[in-house]
Amino acid sequence: MMASPIAFYFSISFLSYVSLFFLLCSSKNGYALGGGERKTLQRYFHTVQVNSLLPVSVCSPSTKDKRNGASLKVVHKYGPCFHLNEHNTESAPTVTEILRRDQSRVNSIQSRLRRNSLKESKATTIPANSGNSIGTGNYIVRIGLGTPKKDLTLIFDTGSDFTWTQCQPCFGSCYQQQDPIYDPSLSSTYTNITCSSQQCSQLSSATSFDPRCFTNTCFYGIEYGDSSVSQGFFGSETITLTPSDVFPNFLFGCGQNNTGLFGGAAGLIGLGRDPLSLVSQTSSKYGNYFSYCLPSTTSSSGYLTFGNGGGSSNGSSLQFTPLLSNSQASSYFFDIIGIKVSGQTLSISKSVFETAGSIIDSGTVITRLPPAAYDALKTAFRDQMKQYPMAQALGLFDTCYDLSKYNSVEIPQISFLFGGNIEVPLIANGIIYAVSASQVCLAFAGNSAASDVGIFGNVQQQTLDVVYDVAGGKLGFGSGGCS
């Protein structure tokens, strides 16, 4: 028997309603059911040309230069924008080596933080030399040292407190660097620090080693997580950041016995919270305020700016999250409270991030997450990427894809939620790490234990204005600071 017109109309309307209901539900949950659905969710995906993910050998400096404050150009120490690389005999490390060194750095950070948090207990058996960290994913700047000034290329690192450079004469050994090694005897403003001075007693907290004395001259020693070493005189010198930003009596290490893989850089600038860091020693002018932007690729450039002139232009709207007080004073602690994938907040208990806390670090390459948080992120990412064939895992990376047969791909957007209810979206290069077109990996890793501190690494910070208002107790993020 034929259905009545009313019944027919009702059945069609009901089916349309059901279809619409499921369409809306699937849209809400971020799943793509078809071409039209994908367009609805387009804002939750990055459409990326696969060849744009691969490294290039030509330097393309960012056009978004910082203009206010004392601003220094930032480049990657193994990228083509490092002008000394054309003469550098140290070859760029493989991705496997980058990840291995990065894990060494993370192990060193975790050891230091565990030791400091348990320093009243027997846990102090952890070696003191685990208290400093250096890794391969580091960025460099040029500064001037001495009178007359000599320009030097130094790695900058928010995970370190102590600034040092190689010095003549090399009593032990000096690794190969591309700038002429600094000679304090040629400067009219260099002086050695005496053992009886208050400055010498400050070395322990900045280097994790007690100072040594010889003929009342203060000597420092520092060892990093990758076994790099610097030892030498503790001195005072004039440091020049820009022609109008000159600081006399800057305390630093004049290294005469140095070994390690520093990519041709002359030494390191410590930007931690210790009194001997560059941030603290220049606080009378800059007010414990600095910012930086790390470029999206090793073939571009960013900036490091001191003073509150940085981090607020280029159309960037800053959002701030509190910096947390912590007994580990040299680290920058803040709250990660959640993660979004394709616009949907992952179901991660707040306690997962609270157990050990989180720090931000310019020298750690890959962000480390608590195991439960990483598992949730990996699961959601894989679900959104299931249309692409998976590839072999590589080191820390357990979620990789073969994109060699695609011209463009859609990568699910990932955002981090920080304390103060701010949301910071990541660019595509902050989400995936391209070893090659046939091996493109999710650029995150899980910690080995829930008690390990989370680390927001430099791959995820790319192109963000990252502002450290240390005096104001807050950390700022803005988009599009550099390219």
Catalytic site positions: 157, 361
Using alpha carbons only, how large is the chain's radius of gyration in Å?
25
Interatomic CA distance for residues 14 and 3, integer angstroms:
15
Q: Are 273 and 468 in contact (CB under 8 A)?
A: no
Q: Of 249, 233, 245, give the one whose Cα is nearest residue 184.
A: 233
Q: What is the DSSP letter of 185?
A: G
Q: Are 72 and 282 in contact (CB under 8 A)?
A: no
Residue in the structure block whose two tokens are 């000597």: 219
Residue in the structure block whose two tokens are 């560059």: 278
- Over the range 440-472, which residues count as b (16 or more CB within 10 Å of their CB) and which as e? bbbbbbbbeeeebbbbbbbbbbbbbbbbbbbeb
Interatomic CA distance for residues 61 and 300, integer angstroms:
5
Q: Are 111 and 205 in contact (CB under 8 A)?
A: no
SS3 234: strand
User: Residue 140: CB partners within 8 Å, gap ≥ 6?
Assistant: 74, 75, 76, 77, 82, 153, 154, 155, 156, 263, 265
Q: Are 144 and 239 in contact (CB under 8 A)?
A: yes
**Tokens (6 digits) for 307:** 């003073």
For 325-448, strand residue ranges (E) read 332-334, 336-341, 344-345, 358-360, 367-369, 390-391, 400-401, 408-412, 414-418, 422-425, 432-436, 439-442, 444-446
User: Residue 325: CB partners within 8 Å, gap ≥ 6?
Assistant: 333, 473
SS3 244: coil
Interatomic CA distance for residues 457 and 368, integer angstroms:
7
DSSP output for 277-312: SHHHHTHHHH-SEEEEE--SSTTS-EEEEESTTSSS
Interatomic CA distance for residues 166 and 153, integer angstroms:
11
